[in-house]
């Protein structure tokens, strides 16, 4: 044994002497030491990585008290096989999920066959319970659909009460999230008494209550609520709006006729084609009719209302004209009398010829935004049920408009009621609208009529979004944006 130790010492001394005489041997030894050190560091790194993973797994599978930094009580320590831990065991581990999608919290287990109390409870919105907050569909804005701002426009006219709630999409356009329309005939009897009657006001208030509920149910960023000719002309128009404030909680604004004409134009901007030079745009309402002359031959602005060169508002609409001349049983003679009355009002419009030669050009056309022209278009298409997608933006020739008017004149009241595009609410008004349309066509004859199922509400929305800069941060997100969904 002692001999073996002596031999080992001699070999070691010989090896050390060799290394002193051979510098390469020393380098090899150093390299070996470095390799061993690197291997040791790598092993330590792997071990540290395993420890971190182990800690992550423990964090995601611990009860909620561990995640929030609270110490578990004895009951939590003893409940290792609770339903909560079984739910946690079924969830994907944090290490198995892609970065940015870590599990931050687990849903609390629910008894079989029941829903979460959060799903069953109606969230109060603006102080009213039972009206759930509804999420707008996605738009072209950066961020989620929850971030898309909502805008609202309400138009209380002589015949209709209409509401639109929409979110902006690409510049100049928007997507409708909610809508409401009801014929209330607020101006019924106004032309003879000069006042709004109680029954008409009651109908309007009930419709406005529906609008109010819709506005409360939506998180509307900006809105404008207007009233037009009926409230403008009635002696008790302001008193009626005070009643609306008290009973409904809505603040309506009576707009003047110039504003009404501008809003009607603003709502139709996206329909005007680039090859157009001039337009006569008209909106045949219940108590008044707005007409705007538009020249886009020299320049083209995104806002069509900037191109109005002349406008007028006739103190006549389908309700007032039908009440004066009769709308239920219309003869060719009474129809001609209606056309003559409107033509006389138009003769007072001194600027009606401001378009000059542009009105004789092939790049000129009429554009109608009223229910009269949409009704004619629906009958012309033979629709079994009115469809705005087919009507809005369609063209009608002059001969087709004349043929539709003659057809309606040949129908009795009951046949007009039976037509799905007219119905009982419009059967006594549609021919009065046709008389106003014929008077307009006589002053500005055109071979083409562009039909628009849009008007004041769309103009209000367009102006609100534009002034608010709603389209500045538009970013396409891959879907096709349309004016309406």
The correct answer on CATH 3.30.420.150 for the domain covering 268-454 is: yes
Query: 288: closest CA among 249, 260, 263?
Result: 260
pLDDT value at position 1?
62
pTM for the complete prediction?
0.68
pLDDT value at position 427?
96
Give the separation between CA 299 and CA 307, rounded to whole angstroms: 9
pLDDT value at position 219?
85
pLDDT value at position 199?
97
User: 128-256+457-479 and 268-454 share one CATH topology?
Assistant: yes
Give the separation between CA 287 and CA 405, rounded to whole angstroms: 21
Query: 254: closest CA among 237, 236, 235?
Result: 237
Domain coordinates in residue numbering, the chain? 128-256+457-479, 268-454
pLDDT value at position 48?
63
pLDDT value at position 49?
62
Query: 437: closest CA among 248, 271, 243, 291?
Result: 291
- Contact call for residues 249 and 264 (beta carbons, < 8 A): no
pLDDT value at position 15?
54
Q: Please tell me what DSSP assigns to residue 107.
A: P
pLDDT value at position 51?
60
The correct answer on CATH 3.90.600.10 for the domain covering 128-256+457-479 is: no
Residue ranges for the chain with pLDDT beneath 70: 1-2, 4, 6, 11-147, 473-485
Q: Please tell me what DSSP assigns to residue 180.
A: E
pLDDT value at position 303?
84
Proportion of the chain above pLDDT 90, given as a percent: 61
pLDDT value at position 105?
35
């Amino acid at each position: 044994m002692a001999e073996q130790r002596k031999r080992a010492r001699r070999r070691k001394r010989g090896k050390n002497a060799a290394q002193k005489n051979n510098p390469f041997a020393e380098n090899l030894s150093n390299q070996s030491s470095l390799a061993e050190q690197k291997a040791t560091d790598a092993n330590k790194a792997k071990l540290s990585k395993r420890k971190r993973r182990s800690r992550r797994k423990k964090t995601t599978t611990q009860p909620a008290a561990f995640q929030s930094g609270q110490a578990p009580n004895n009951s939590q320590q003893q409940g290792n096989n609770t339903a909560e831990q079984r739910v946690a065991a079924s969830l994907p581990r944090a290490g198995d999920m892609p970065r940015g999608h870590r599990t931050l919290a687990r849903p609390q287990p629910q008894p079989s066959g029941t829903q979460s109390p959060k799903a069953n409870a109606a969230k109060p919105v603006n102080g009213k319970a039972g009206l759930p907050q509804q999420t707008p569909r996605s738009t072209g804005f950066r961020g989620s659909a929850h971030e898309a701002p909502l805008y609202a426009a309400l138009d209380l006219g002589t015949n209709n009460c209409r509401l639109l709630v929409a979110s902006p999409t690409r510049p100049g356009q928007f997507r409708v999230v909610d809508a409401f329309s009801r014929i209330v005939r607020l101006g019924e009897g106004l032309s003879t008494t000069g006042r709004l009657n109680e029954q008409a006001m009651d109908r309007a208030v009930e419709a406005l209550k529906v609008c109010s509920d819709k506005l409360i149910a939506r998180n509307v960023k900006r809105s404008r609520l207007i009233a037009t000719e009926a409230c403008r002309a009635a002696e008790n128009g302001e008193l009626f709006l005070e009643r609306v404030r008290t009973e409904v909680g809505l603040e309506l604004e009576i707009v003047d006729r110039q504003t009404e004409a501008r809003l009607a134009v603003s709502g139709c901007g996206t329909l005007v084609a680039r090859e157009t030079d001039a337009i006569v745009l008209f909106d045949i309402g219940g108590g008044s009719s707005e007409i705007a002359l538009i020249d886009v031959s020299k320049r083209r602005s995104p806002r069509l209302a900037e191109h109005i060169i002349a406008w007028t508002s006739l103190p006549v609409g389908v309700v007032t004209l039908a009440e004066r001349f009769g709308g239920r049983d219309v003869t060719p003679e009474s129809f001609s009398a209606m056309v003559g009355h409107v033509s006389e009002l138009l003769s007072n419009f001194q600027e009606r010829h401001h378009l000059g030669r542009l009105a004789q050009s092939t790049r000129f056309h009429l554009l109608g935004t009223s229910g009269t022209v949409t009704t004619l278009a629906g009958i012309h298409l033979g629709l079994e049920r009115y469809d705005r997608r087919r009507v809005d933006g369609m063209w009608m020739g002059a001969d087709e408009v004349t043929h539709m008017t003659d057809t309606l004149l040949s129908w009795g009241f009951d046949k007009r009621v039976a037509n799905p595009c007219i119905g009982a609410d419009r059967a006594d008004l549609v021919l009065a609208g046709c008389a106003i349309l014929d008077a307009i066509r006589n002053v500005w004859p055109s071979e083409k009529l562009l039909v628009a199922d849009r008007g004041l509400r769309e103009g209000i929305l367009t102006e609100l979004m534009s002034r608010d800069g709603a389209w500045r941060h538009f970013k396409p997100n891959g879907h096709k944006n349309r004016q309406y969904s």
